[in-house]
Structure 1
Amino acid sequence: MAKLPRDGQTTLKDTKSLRLRAAWLYYRYGLTQKDIADRLGLARTTVVKLLDEALKRHEVQIGIAEGDGEMIELGVRLERALGLDEAIVVPGGSGADDTAQAVGAALGTLLSGAIGDGMSIGVGWGRTLTAALATFAPPRRENAKVVALLGGVVEVSVTNPQEFTWRLANQLGAACFLFPAPLIVDSAETRERLMTRCGLDRLERMAERLDIAVVSVGDIGSAATSLSRDLLTADELRELAEAGCVCDVMCNFLSTDGQPIDHPLRHRVMSIGLDTVARADHVVIATGGAARAEAILAAHRRLGCDTLVTDEHAAVRILGLVGG
């Protein structure tokens, strides 16, 4: 798998990011221009121009300029430690909402250039993904599809999976495929009937052929801000925590090693299975905050993340956990 390609409509901010990233890999890590070109999905001649421009702008002295360089270094370290194709790290915010906005903005910019004609995009849910809409400004794409990977909620406080999916598809000019079912139903039998007898099996078939899957992850600790906390009872949250849950991916609850938690909720969630999501050509995980480091690692172990979009606090914590 390679880094997600970008189209030709690169912004000035994107150009600077690529320039500093190329310079960091060349001068700090000693990669060849060809290696950098392969890693960044660019032509070698483009890499040569980026390095030359970095020198002319005095961005390369003894090291890369402070601030930008720190984020790039964290990204490169995450890529090496986790085997990622790309890690995009943004400065940390002062709280959960600030972090979601910052990480979401980076995700929106990434997806604006990564989605091409004819692509099928599967999307999850969360504050971070919703925040991506503010910077998601792609050209109109022909024959693209956006597929919801999970059901919706009855009472909407911040965001709704169905609304997010529709807005993303609308901004892209893509066909939109919603998941018209509650996110959590009353029994495994209800879930089975809805999935097999009400047309939702079509979504499962579409999810088997995704070019990109984009999900966020949450934790369920006492201070967690995961949206699933609003959908579960206090007893259910306690039972999940006692069973070793550290991660919530579309209301699929995982242990540290990425395995599903053995709890009745597992069979009542209306979402595409994580094994199916993991088979997408490219999996993007976007979330931030130090408290979600374990959740990010669990989701990575389950889904095989290709691109991680996160903040510096999560990045530092992840590297501490994995010794990277």
Structure 2
Amino acid sequence: MHKAAWLYYMHGLRQDEVAKQLDISRASVALYLRRARESGIVNITTSTSLFQHETLARELEDLLGLKSVWIVPEDRQALDPASEMPVLAATVFLDLIEKGDRVGVAWGRTVYHIADVMPFADLHGVTVVQLCGNLGAPYDYRPDQCTTEIARRLNAEGINIYAPLVLSSERLAAELRAEPVIQEQLASIADCQLALYSVGGIEDDSHLVKCGALSAAEMQEMGRLGAAGVIAGQLIDGDGQPMDCAHNRRCISADLSSIRAIPKRMMVVQEESKFEPLVAAIRGGLASHLIVTASMGQRLMQRFQS
């Protein structure tokens, strides 16, 4: 309803144009606009704080060229954004899945928390695939854990990549990527209709450092060389492009061009410390659907308007 009102009243689109952009019927657009008028949503002078967040979401969509943005408020006393965001993300994720979809899933604390609160559904015909190789058993939030749990919640087929995320040498990684099974799995990622992931940072306590893929000193050096964040285990630069580095060449992970080919790339970012990695990911076209906090949304507005 908010999006229909925004496109109709703020962008001046006709009802049939709004219907086409939102992929709904013209009758639905007319209904949403009537409800928006009745509820006072289109009356800016009486809009609530919730509409302010909706306005921010629509402005971010316009500014960043994203399909959809959701904002988690931080100004309600009873609200904990850290606990509400996974619930919102799980709801949005289920909304985006269609029958027969192939869904790519990455790893990390954010994705694991989304999986942990995801309601059970019966989505036969949906396939959940791992976007990158795996980590050692002691590490929490492993890629296979995230993929398996989401597949279990959806009653969907789960496909894990049974290979390490990072190999000990570039030669070994190249040989493993050339294995028919791994090659087929990585190539099929471009056939996904939806991806769920976050973006990692390059701090000394980042996931890649914690899991032993890089030492803190090596990560610091990568930062000096231009690394800005981590996507599916791979280092990206400030423009969201993969770094030409030994670490990336040792990774068993989806090619970033394959990820960009996925129509719905849902990125969820909670921590304020991930602002710069998020900026890089957006610049690199690695997100089409975004969930962030209100403060992160405001920072994005300021950065991309400057």
Superposition TM-score tier, normalisation by shorter sequence: 0.7 to 0.9
Question: 3-state SS of the aligned residue for 1:200?
Answer: helix
Q: Distance in 1 between matches of 2:87 and 2:161?
A: 25
Q: Aligned AA for 2:66?
A: L
Q: Aligned AA for 1:196?
A: A
| Gaps in structure 1 of 5+ consecutive residues | 1-18
Structure 1 window deviating more from structure 2 (193-202 vs 262-271): it is: 193-202
- The 1:115/1:64 distance shift into structure 2, 3 A limit, reads farther
Q: Distance in 2 between matches of 1:184 and 1:93?
A: 41
1:228 maps to which residue? 208
Q: Distance in 2 between matches of 1:63 and 1:48?
A: 23
Structure 2 residue corresponding to 1:206, chosen from 180, 188, 203: 188
> Do the aligned residues in 1 keep the contact of 2:70 with 2:291 (CA within 8 Å)?
yes
1:241 maps to which residue? 223
- The 1:47/1:164 distance shift into structure 2, 3 A limit, reads same
> Do the aligned residues in 1 keep the contact of 2:104 with 2:130 (CA within 8 Å)?
yes
Structure 1 window deviating more from structure 2 (300-309 vs 211-220): it is: 300-309
**What displacement does 1:63 show?**
4.3
What count of residue pairs does the alignment treat as equivalent? 301
1:62 maps to which residue? 44
Structure 1 residue corresponding to 2:291, chosen from 309, 315, 321: 309
Root-mean-square deviation (CA), in Å? Answer: 2.5
Q: Does 1:47 align with 2:11?
A: no
> Do the aligned residues in 1 keep the contact of 2:240 with 2:283 (CA within 8 Å)?
yes
Q: Does 1:127 align with 2:129?
A: no
Question: 3-state SS of the aligned residue for 1:168?
Answer: helix
**What displacement does 1:85 show?**
1.3
- The 1:198/1:42 distance shift into structure 2, 3 A limit, reads closer
> Do the aligned residues in 1 keep the contact of 2:202 with 2:230 (CA within 8 Å)?
yes
Structure 1 window deviating more from structure 2 (116-125 vs 201-210): it is: 201-210
- TM-score norm. by structure 1 comes to 0.83
| Gaps in structure 2 of 5+ consecutive residues | none
Cα shift readout 1:250-301 (whole Å, capped 9, x = no counterpart): 2211111122223321111221111111112322222134432321232233
Structure 2 residue corresponding to 1:148, chosen from 115, 122, 130: 130
**What displacement does 1:312 show?**
1.6
Taking only the aligned residue pairs, the percentage that are identical comes to: 25
- TM-score norm. by structure 2 comes to 0.88
Q: Distance in 1 between matches of 2:275 and 2:58?
A: 17
**What displacement does 1:192 show?**
1.8
1:190 maps to which residue? 172
Structure 1 residue corresponding to 2:233, chosen from 222, 228, 251: 251
